[in-house]
Amino acid sequence: MESLDRRRRVAGLGLVVLTIAGGLTACSGSSGGDAPAGDAPAGGASQAAGGGTYTIWDPYPQFDDSSDWVKLLGQCGTQAGVTVKRTGYDTTDLTNKALLAAQQGNSPDVLIVDNPVVSTLAEAGVLTSTDETKIDTSAASPNLLAAGQIGGKTYGIPIGANTLALYYNKDVLKKAGVDVASVKDWTSLTAALEKVKAAGKKGITFSAIGTEEGSFQFLPWFWGSGANLTKLDSPEGVAALSLWTDWVKKGYAPNSVINNTQTTSWQEFATGDFAFAENGTWQLANAKKAGFPYGIIPIPAKDGGTAPAPTGGEFVSIPVQQDTARYATTQKLVTCLASTDNSLATDTTLSYIAPTEEVQAKQVEQNPDLKVWVEAVKAAKGRTSDNLGTKYPKISEPLWKATQAALSGSQPPQEAMAEAQTAAASATQ
């Protein structure tokens, strides 16, 4: 029997429309265009426990029934002795439908959601914890698992992750006389950009747009300075924003970064004029089509080492069911999807780095190009980690607004970050 407190939280959801901070292009799910693979009925309360049909909702509408992903879902159902009915939704649409289904007491059996959404659904009482459903998360990397933790409990298990690093154009760096091995911290990176500009080429492109994408791309520099999201206007946080601002002022980064999405900044890099581009695992296929030799290095922290970049990727979670007898079979489905045996194929299909070291090693063995991404994921952290949970979106928005203000020249970094901290503190009280 679910607790009275949980039922009250779900009942209080109403017709909420979430604006969850979700770095959507940092995830494998489509952001639109492909129709869901059939509107499946939710499976929770309407079906008998044991056997029968179990529903899975995921944010991968780009995969149809012939895909390896959907075939895996069917195989996991067969192993559990049930039929799987799967529906793929756009990421934002999925969140809203999950909230509505929970309010109606008709949630799917398995819900795969973008990791920043987990804490919101958990706080609303939509999800079970792994303690309740006995999901074994011990093999998952702690830094990835943290994105699904709040209040000392874990709500699901990561299916994989992606993150950010720096792509570089070997020809541009060679022309500028830059040895990429020398780029180890902010000082050496800035020196490399100066040389590139002096050689008549362009330095670095990234996304600083006034949305979650802008925050997503700024976080490696913010965290790499040693700053914390609970104190945006710390000296470290101001230093990170000053770095970006100085690059734009000196012409090392183009003014277009203010409006760039991760897609348009990649298009700039693909022209062959830029030395560096901050982007993600999901651009690997495009990099191979770029027509010039490229390499990848982790984003450097201020004083050296790899900066913590934010994680993209989804969690496999189990929504609350009125009929708790369903959990035993659902647990089998989730365990199958997250198993070591299936993880390698799944994360290759979804263009993710696996959440366990064992499978990460197999990925690098199959594709040595993934080594730098494995290193970046090991250093990464969830945006809702540090027990921020649903506070994160309320901090992210002032952060991207501060970035926009500083890069546009309307406010100096210190003033922009001070204003952002005031707004974030007020919103998270």
Which CATH number characterizes residue 359's domain? 3.40.190.10
Residue 225 pLDDT class (50, 70, 90 cuts): very high
Planar angle of CA 32, 34, 39, nearest 5 degrees: 105
Residues 267-275: what's their mean pLDDT? 98
Of 123, 121, 115, give the one whose Cα is nearest residue 147.
Answer: 115
> For position 420, what pLDDT does the model report?
98
In the chain, what percentage of residues exceed pLDDT 70?
88
**Contact present, 22 and 92 (Cβ < 8 Å):** yes
The range of the structural domain enclosing residue 28 comes to 4-162+312-379
Residue 18 pLDDT class (50, 70, 90 cuts): very low
Q: Are residues 345 and 403 in the same domain?
A: no
Is 154 part of a structural domain of the chain?
yes
Residue 180 burial class via C-beta count within 10 angstroms: exposed 0-12, middle 13-18, buried 19 and up: middle
Please measure the distance between the N-terminal and C-terminal CA atoms of the chain and give it in whole angstroms. Answer: 32
> For position 26, what pLDDT does the model report?
52
Q: Are residues 205 and 247 in the same domain?
A: yes
Residues 315-335: what's their mean pLDDT? 96
Is 182 part of a structural domain of the chain?
yes
The letter for the amino acid at 235 is P
pLDDT at residue 10 is higher than 60: no
For residue range 33-83, list pLDDT tens digits in order: 333 333 333 444 334 445 699 999 999 999 999 999 999 999 999 999 999
pLDDT at residue 8 is higher than 90: no
**Contact present, 350 and 69 (Cβ < 8 Å):** yes
The letter for the amino acid at 57 is W
Of 272, 270, 237, 276, give the one whose Cα is nearest residue 253.
Answer: 276
Q: Are residues 366 and 252 in the same domain?
A: no
Q: Are residues 339 and 400 in the same domain?
A: no
Residue 21 pLDDT class (50, 70, 90 cuts): very low
Rg of the chain taking only CA atoms, in angstroms? 22
Q: Are residues 267 and 411 in the same domain?
A: yes
Is 258 part of a structural domain of the chain?
yes
3-state secondary structure labels for all residues of 98-111 = HHHHHHCCCCCCEE
**Contact present, 297 and 183 (Cβ < 8 Å):** yes
Strand partners of residue 157: 316
Is 81 part of a structural domain of the chain?
yes
Residue 31 burial class via C-beta count within 10 angstroms: exposed 0-12, middle 13-18, buried 19 and up: middle
Q: Are residues 267 and 295 in the same domain?
A: yes
Strand order in the sheet with 157-158: 83-88, 53-58, 110-114, 314-317, 157-158
CB-based contacts of 3, cutoff 8 Å, min separation 6 = none
Q: Are residues 229 and 276 in the same domain?
A: yes
CA distance linking residue 427 with residue 67, whole number of Å: 43
Is 236 part of a structural domain of the chain?
yes
Q: Are residues 63 and 44 in the same domain?
A: yes
Residue 346 pLDDT class (50, 70, 90 cuts): confident
165 — phi, psi (to 5°)? Answer: -155, -175
Residue 9 pLDDT class (50, 70, 90 cuts): low
Identify which has the larger pLDDT, 27 or 262.
Answer: 262
Strands 149-150 and 53-58, bridge-based pairing:
unpaired
Is 384 part of a structural domain of the chain?
no
> For position 5, what pLDDT does the model report?
52
Q: Are residues 78 and 115 in the same domain?
A: yes
Residue 23 pLDDT class (50, 70, 90 cuts): very low
> For position 351, what pLDDT does the model report?
85
**Contact present, 56 and 333 (Cβ < 8 Å):** yes
φ/ψ bin of 28: left (φ > 0), alpha (ψ from -120 to 50), beta (otherwise):
alpha
> For position 240, what pLDDT does the model report?
98
CA distance linking residue 281 with residue 353, whole number of Å: 9
The letter for the amino acid at 172 is V
Residues 378-385: what's their mean pLDDT? 94
Whose tokens are 């700053």? That residue is 227
Is 180 part of a structural domain of the chain?
yes
Predicted structure pTM score: 0.85
CA distance linking residue 92 with residue 212, whole number of Å: 13
> For position 221, what pLDDT does the model report?
98
> For position 348, what pLDDT does the model report?
84
> For position 269, what pLDDT does the model report?
98
Q: At what angle do helices 371-379 and 357-366 cross, to 10 degrees?
A: 160
Q: Which two tokens stand for residue 113?
A: 């959601």
For residue range 352-380, list pLDDT tens digits in order: 999 999 999 999 999 998 999 999 999 99
Total of domains in the chain: 2
For residue range 103-130, list pLDDT tens digits in order: 999 999 999 999 999 999 999 999 999 9
Residues 250-275: what's their mean pLDDT? 97
For residue range 232-246, list pLDDT tens digits in order: 999 999 999 999 999
Longest dimension (CA), the chain: 70
Q: Helices H, strands E: what count in the chain?
A: 18, 11
173: helix, coil or strand? helix
φ/ψ bin of 296: left (φ > 0), alpha (ψ from -120 to 50), beta (otherwise):
beta
Q: Are residues 126 and 261 in the same domain?
A: no
Q: Are residues 138 and 42 in the same domain?
A: yes
Average pLDDT, the chain: 89
CB-based contacts of 235, cutoff 8 Å, min separation 6 = none
Residues 324-341: what's their mean pLDDT? 94
Is 140 part of a structural domain of the chain?
yes
Q: Are residues 239 and 195 in the same domain?
A: yes
